[in-house]
Structures are given as C-alpha cells and as structure tokens.
C-alpha cells in the first residue's frame, strides 16, 4: 500500500519583511490538501499577495518555509515549482500577449518543454475546459473581458499545475461573465486557492475560508460558518453585500 499523497500546500511559520523594513507576514501556518478549494480573505494590506508570491518562489521566505506537493520551494527548483503553482492574475493583460488565443495557451507548456502532439492536445483540452474551444484562432484583443479572463485560466491549466491560484477572479466582470467563469471553475478538479474580496463568490466556489490580517491567520474554518460570523467580518474589515445572507 502507498501512503496518502502529500498536501498540495504547506506553509510553516512563514515570516517575511520587505527591504524597506515593512514586515508583511508574521509566522503564517497554512495547510491545503489535494482537491481543496480555499478562499484567502482579508483587507487590503493584510499580506495576501505577499503570501501568494511565496507559493511559486517569486518571494523567498525570511523565516519558515513553503512546500508544494511535498517539494520545498527554493531557488534550486523554482522552475518546477512554477509549473506546479499556476497563478491567474487579476488583469488578463499580465498573461495574454501573443497574436492568438492558441499561442497564448501554448506558451506556458512550451516553456516547460512540451512539444508536438502533446502540446497541441494540452491547448485543445485547456480551451475546452474554459468553454473557449471555438476561439483558438482569435486575437485576445478581440475578446470580451470575461472571455479574456477564461483564456487566462486556460493558459495556466495547460501547464497542468498542482495548485491553481486565482487573484480576484471576479473583479470587473459583469454578472453573466461572472457566472460563466464560476461555471468553469466549479468543474475543475484540482486544488484551488482564491484570493478575493468578493465574499459571495468565495461562498459559491470554496468550501473553506482563511482570513489573513496584519500578516497573521486570524480565522480558518468552513466558509459558510466564517461568513455567518458578523463580529469576525467586522473586526477584519470584511463586508457582505447589502441584503446577502450566507445562511
């Protein structure tokens, strides 16, 4: 018999200060199991982005460490870590820069050495996964905002990451585009970490919520229970839309 697979993400006592002396993280601990969907919540300046940038090696821990699927994040294996942790940025312009949608999706796996029929298959699978199969030969410039967001997700899926990280996925989307993206994300099977201020979206897409504030984890519990705790939300400057109830 083989043992259980390692956790998708393990963060141990992670602390980090920027060169100007600002301490952004103070001993963060977090564990995410394979297939979990976790919403990372917190006010602006709480350390969410700093934490995420440690997951794929953009930032290096000042103290403590991070493991992705059992592999320690360090400079010696940063390329493999960035394959395992796919980050979808808030602005699709940060990820879409090639002449066609298909070229954009192929760029990542090609950079990791995938070629030929396997590369073409990954592109086709990623397009299908985000309901954009008929748009492969279009320029990203000619797509709507919601379509561009889904293509940005496809560029990451084509690399077959262990962990999908989404930075404010619902921002600047109209209600239809927001629903279409949710439909796509709900079908995905892998581990997901979603950084968001959109609490209803967090409830729709995730089972678990983690609140980060002033560089420390202040709550970690089932998302519905977390959003039902009005005192907790108020203390950490999180606010549900008027009239919305998580119950």
What phi, psi does 44 have (nearest 5°)? -60, 140
Domain chopping of the chain, boundaries:
9-235
Sheet with 163-167: strands ordered across: 85-88, 163-167, 191-195, 37-41, 208-213, 216-222
**C-alpha closest to that of 221 among 96, 41, 84, 65:** 41
Which of the 8 DSSP states describes residue 7? P
Q: Which of 189-193, 210-214, 222-226, 242-246 has the lowest mean pLDDT?
A: 242-246
Helices and strands (H and E) in the chain: how many: 9, 10
Strands 23-32 and 9-17, bridge-based pairing: antiparallel
How far is residue 239's CA from residue 157's CA, in Å, rounded to a whole number? 31
pLDDT tens for residues 129-173?
999 999 999 999 999 999 999 999 999 999 999 999 999 999 999
Spatial separation of the C-alpha atoms in residues 46 and 30, rounded to whole Å: 15
0.85 exceeded by pTM: yes
Which token pair is 193?
A: 């970490």
26 φ, ψ (degrees, to nearest 5): -130, 80
For the CA atoms of 80, 83, 86, 89, the dihedral, rounded to the nearest 10 degrees, stands at 90
Crossing angle for the helix pair 145-157 and 116-129, to the nearest 10 degrees: 140
* Alpha carbon 20 to its chain's center: 27
Fold of 9-235: Rossmann fold (3.40.50)
CA dihedral in degrees (126, 128, 134, 135; nearest 10)?
Answer: -30
CA distance 1 to 223: 34
Predicted confidence at residue 243, as pLDDT, reads: 82
The answer to whether 213 and 219 have CB atoms below 8 angstroms apart is no
Q: What is the DSSP letter of 138?
A: S
At 32-49, the pLDDT tens digits run 999 999 999 999 999 999
Per residue in 72-106, pLDDT (tens digit) is 999 889 999 999 999 999 999 899 999 999 999 99
């Amino acid at each position: 018999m083989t043992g259980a697979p390692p956790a998708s993400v393990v963060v141990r006592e992670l602390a980090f200060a920027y060169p100007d002396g600002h301490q952004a993280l103070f001993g963060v601990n977090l564990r995410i199991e394979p297939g979990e969907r976790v919403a990372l919540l917190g006010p602006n300046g709480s350390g969410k982005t700093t934490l995420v940038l440690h997951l794929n090696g953009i930032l290096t821990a000042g103290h403590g460490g991070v493991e992705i699927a059992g592999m320690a994040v360090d400079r010696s294996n940063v390329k493999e870590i960035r394959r395992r942790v796919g980050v979808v940025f808030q602005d699709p312009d940060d990820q879409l820069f090639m002449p066609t949608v298909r070229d954009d999706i192929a760029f990542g796996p090609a950079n990791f050495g995938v070629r030929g029929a396997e590369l073409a298959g990954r592109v086709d699978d990623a397009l299908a996964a985000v309901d954009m199969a008929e748009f492969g030969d279009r320029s990203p410039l000619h797509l709507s905002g919601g379509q561009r967001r889904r293509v940005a997700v496809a560029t990451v899926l084509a690399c077959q990451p262990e962990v999908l990280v989404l930075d404010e996925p619902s921002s600047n989307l109209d209600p239809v585009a927001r629903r279409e993206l949710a439909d796509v994300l709900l079908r995905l099977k892998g581990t997901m970490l979603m950084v968001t201020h959109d609490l209803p979206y967090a409830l729709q897409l995730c089972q678990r919520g983690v609140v980060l504030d002033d560089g420390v984890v202040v709550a970690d519990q089932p998302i519905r229970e977390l959003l039902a705790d009005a005192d907790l939300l108020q203390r950490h400057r999180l606010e549900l839309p008027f009239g919305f109830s998580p119950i």
